[in-house]
Structures are given as structure tokens and as C-alpha cells.
A = this chain, B = another copy of it.
Amino acid sequence: VDTEDQTQLTELMEPLHAADIADLLEQLNSYDRARLIRLYDREFDGDILSELDESIREEVIATLRPQVLADAVRELESDDVVDLIEDLEEPQQEAILDALEDSDRVAVEQAMAWPEGSAGRLMQREVVMAPEHWNVGQAIDHLRNSDELPEQFYHIVLVDPRMHPIGNVTLGKLMGSRREVPLIDLTEDMFRVIPATQDEEDVAYAFNQYHLISAPVVDEEGRLAGVITIDDAMAVLDEEHEEDILRLAGVSDDSSLSDSVADTAKRRLPWLAVNLLTAILASLVISQFEETLSKFVALAVLMPIVASMGGNAGTQSLTVAVRALATKDLTGANVWRVIRREVVVGLLNGLVFAVSMGIIGLVWFNSPIIGYVIAVAMVINLMVAGLAGTVIPVVMDKMGVDPALASGTFVTTVTDVVGFFAFLGLAGMVMM
């Protein structure tokens, strides 16, 4: 396609949504990407920039001619510009700010004054509001006489004289009610005010938990500063999930498929290094039993089984705990019950696999003692796995660290060390 003429390309891209064009750009390699952008830059849409992955966004912005970039950015709403520039380097940020009209630039700069990842960054500043004492007729007339309504809005926010938001009225209710009904009688049951400094993760949780569609955001004095709608909250929820799932696997959460090889390798290195240290720790445990091992090589054959089962069971408990912490289902009220449950589950499954491994050990190595040792070690390690898999993320959460971030490595370290120690230690005691 890329060698073809500009008109044909523009025709092909015409029906595509900005998000799809962004996906297309992400899937090309950098060389083809630059060629495509240079061919396509007549109609380059600002929304494409918003939809691009961070790592590629900088590259694309650098490729675009300044004039095209300025046109693209000027089309965007102020909250999209904030989202676009907050991860860019200083010089690119300024290039974009300079391209904006004065009023937009002020709006963007005000939003950037809120901390990164806060509701203040997420909100849009255009709000449709009405004084609390108005009735339906006044609100409808006001709306019909407004020159510029926001692109998307679903509620009217009622405010008191000090600009404190006191309720939401949906446009649907407004349409369906007689003109003389006071707005205050039509407010939604479910109404939550969000402080501008609140973490966007908590905002997404509130939308999901309380089925909010939009919620007013207030500044430190409780005055209406903007509004967050469910589509923004959904995007945050999606990002948070991505972060959780990648962190659980020890992948840095700002990585993406379009990162370069060197970047990817560098980003994955730290957790592998941590894992190396913990693996060496496990090896040190094993080396304490070199004498036992040299007499009974069968132990070396079987020992990874105990460690692997413990690691697996620990990861199961861990993932359930991390997820329950994220959805606020695991709290101080039930933490002891959950821990007890995980340990008992470890005991039950430990017994099942103790019996099977005991039999396998007996048949394979024709030694009842090996069967007995692996069975007991299995029960111990699966109980420890349940305990560590729950306690470690809970403690990290209490300490204010994201439990998804490092618990995986800690849990498998515990199950490796306990697994090798229990198996080889028991074998040493019984067999020597």
C-alpha cells in the first residue's frame, strides 16, 4: 500500500476510526510508519494521536510537520490534550502548547496543575450546570439558548450559590417532566462528588461500584471544577487492569508491543535480576544438603516437584488476593477468615497430592521412605503457599505498595525455600 499514491491511501483510510488508524500505525515497523505518516499527513486527525501508544506517540509527533501537528492538536478537547501531553518530553510538550489557542492553553495548564493520575487531570472542564432553585422549564430554555454546549453531556449538575454541586439531573428526566417541576425533585438517587485530588484508580472503582454515568469534580473548597464521565472511567479501569496483570508477571507496566528490543530487554531485566537472587537463595538451601543429595540422587530428581507445586499453589492464592484487594473485597473485616481458608485449602490439596506423590515415589524409586518424605513435604509446602500467597500481598497493601508489583517473586521464593528445605531436610533426618 505504501508505495502507492496519496489519493488512494486517503480513500482507503477514510472510513477508519481514529482508534483503528492508531492500531494500524502501531503494527507497522518504524520505517513504514514514517512513510505512511508522510503520505497521509494532509488529513491527520488529532484523535489518532490520543489513541496511540505512548512509546510510538513521541515518534509520530516527531515525524509530523509542525503545521500538521498544530492543526491536529487544535481540534482536540482540552482533556484530550492533557492526556496527550502529560507523558511527552518537555520540548514536545511546549511545541503542542504553543500550537493551541490562548484559552485552550490556559485550560490545559490549569489541568496540568493537578497531580498526575488525579481526578483533576481526568475531568473535562466544560460542565452544564443550573442553580438549585430552577425548574424544568428554566433549564430547558437555558439549554436551548446556549451557544456552545459540550460535545457529550448527559446530566445537568445542580449547584448552590457557592458553586457546591448538590445533585445530578439526567437529560432524560428533564425531557420527560412538566415545565413547572423543580429540578431538585428530579435528582438521581446515586450522586457522588469526587475531589479533584482523588486518585484516578479510586474514581474508576467508584464508577464501577456505584454504576455512575457522570460525576462532578470539586476543588479543595468544594466548588464545582469539572465533570468526569463513565467513558474516561472505563479507560482508567482498563489501564489499571493492564498494570495489574503485567505487574503480576514482573513486566514493567508502561511497556508495550511496539517498544524497541533494547527497551524491552532493559525493562524486563530488573525482575529477572530479582528472580536470580531469589533462585540463588533457593540454591543455597539446596547446597546445605549436598551430602544427603550425593548419597541419594533420587532426591535431586524429585525435589523440583515439591517446589513447583508450592509455587503454583502460591500463585493461585496470590492472584485471588491481589484481585480481591483491587476490588476492595478483601478488607480488615475478613482477612483472617481468608487466610485461614487459604491455609486449609492448601492442607486439603496438599493431602490429595501427598497421597498421589507418595504412591508415585514408592513405585518409581521402590522406596517407601522417599514416598513418605515427599508426601509430608508436599503438605507443608502447600499450606505455606496458601499462607504466603495471602499474607504477602495483604502486608504490601498495608504498607502502601501495589501488591501486584512484587509479591509474585516473594511468594515463589518462600515456596522454593520451604519446598527444598522441607523435602531435603526431612530426607536427611529420615534417611541418613
Contacts and interface: CB of A to CB of B under 8 A. Distances in A.
Main SS of the interface on chain A?
helix
Contacts of A318: 249
A5 B143 CA distance: 50
B297 A251 contact: no
Contact of A276 (B245, B246, B356): B356
A250 B348 contact: no
A308 B333 CA distance: 36
Contact of A251 (B153, B275, B319): B319
Interface stretch (A95-103, A108-116, A215-223, A298-306): A298-306
A410 to B, nearest CB: 13
A294 B176 CA distance: 85
Contact of A338 (B257, B286, B352): B257
A323 to B, nearest CB: 6
B143 A175 contact: yes
A207 interface: yes
A257 B154 contact: no
Given A255-B320, A319-B249, A331-B27, A152 B213 contact: yes
Given A143-B176, A150-B172, A235-B208, A345 B261 contact: yes
A353 B283 contact: no
A152 B230 CA distance: 14
Nearest to A259: B341
Nearest to A328: B23
Interface in A276-324: 276, 279-280, 282-283, 286-287, 290, 293-294, 297-298, 300-305, 307-309, 312-313, 315-316, 318-320, 322-324
B276 A353 contact: yes
A237 B241 CA distance: 10
A275 B149 contact: no
A283 B304 contact: yes
Copies of this protein in the complex: 2
B304 A293 contact: no
Interface stretch (A34-42, A66-74, A263-271): A263-271
Contacts of A344: 261, 265
Nearest to A282: B304
Contacts of A290: 297-298, 300-301
A341 B255 CA distance: 13
Contacts of A331: 27
A302 B290 CA distance: 11
Given A146-B176, A230-B230, A334 B257 contact: yes
Given A257-B330, A304-B282, A241 B245 contact: yes
A231 interface: yes
A80 to B, nearest CB: 11
Nearest to A172: B153
A31 interface: no
A194 interface: no
A339 to B, nearest CB: 11
A189 to B, nearest CB: 9
A349 interface: yes
A209 interface: yes
Contacts of A420: 304
Contacts of A231: 211, 213, 230
B268 A349 contact: yes
A341 to B, nearest CB: 5
Given A231-B230, A257-B324, A312 B272 contact: yes
A175 B146 CA distance: 10
Nearest to A136: B144
Given A154-B154, A276-B357, 6 more contacts: A154-B172, A249-B315, A265-B344, A276-B356, A297-B300, A304-B416
27 contacts: A29-B337, A149-B175, A149-B176, A153-B172, A154-B213, A230-B231, A234-B234, A238-B241, A245-B319, A245-B322, A246-B319, A248-B319, A250-B312, A257-B329, A264-B341, A272-B309, A276-B309, A279-B305, A282-B304, A282-B305, A283-B302, A283-B305, A287-B301, A290-B298, A293-B297, A304-B416, A308-B412
